[in-house]
């Protein structure tokens, strides 16, 4: 199931790019999931009505070896991806950071263990749902 979700997420990003979507630098494949990517403008549904923008509900860091948790609220039943960047800027590959489908109420949460060799400071998390991307600092204590 995780592999299927990851493949669907990757294919949807490629489809958006191939169809001419993502004219702004924040929507290019190289920028999605990077610490600087941030786009909160709402998309439109096929009927033309605006889709609610995604927003962070909780961004909870912790100490090295502890658990971190991120929850966002946005588009119901949509595949969302997350990237966590250590305070050093290195992208994490921790278990728990796989793409997930949001709930019918639009919420989606991720939790992962912070690597024991992570230094204290501000890392960042970047979440992408459909064509919306938001970023936030996350404190490692």
CATH number of the domain at 56, please.
2.60.40.1930
Sign (positive or negative) of CA dihedral 52, 47, 33, 102: positive
- What is the pLDDT averaged over residues 28-48? 43
Phi and psi at residue 31, to the nearest 5°: -90, -25
pLDDT interval class at 43 (50, 70, 90): low
pLDDT given for residue 95 in this prediction:
98
Total number of domains constituting the chain: 1
CA 32 to chain centre: 9
pLDDT score of 49 = 62
- 96 versus 32: the higher-pLDDT residue is 96
Domain extent, residue 105, equals 2-140
**pLDDT confidence bin for 47, thresholds 50/70/90:** low
Average pLDDT of the chain is 77
What percent of the chain lies above the pLDDT cut of 90?
63
Please state, as a whole number, how many other Cβ atoms lie within 10 Å of the Cβ of residue 89. Answer: 9
Dihedrals phi, psi of 71, to nearest 5 degrees: -130, 135
């Amino acid at each position: 199931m995780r592999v299927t979700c990851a493949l669907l997420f990757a294919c949807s990003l490629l489809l958006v790019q191939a169809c001419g979507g993502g004219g702004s630098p924040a929507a290019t494949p190289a920028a999605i999931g990077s610490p600087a990517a941030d786009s909160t403008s709402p998309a439109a549904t096929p009927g033309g009505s605006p889709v609610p923008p995604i927003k962070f509900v909780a961004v909870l860091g912790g100490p090295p070896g502890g658990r971190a948790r991120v929850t966002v609220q946005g588009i119901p039943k949509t595949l969302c991806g997350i990237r966590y960047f250590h305070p050093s800027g290195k992208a994490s590959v921790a278990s728990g950071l796989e793409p997930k489908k949001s709930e019918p109420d639009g919420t989606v949460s991720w939790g992962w263990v912070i690597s024991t060799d992570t230094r204290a400071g501000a890392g960042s998390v970047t979440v992408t749902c459909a064509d919306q991307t938001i970023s936030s600092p996350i404190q490692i204590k």
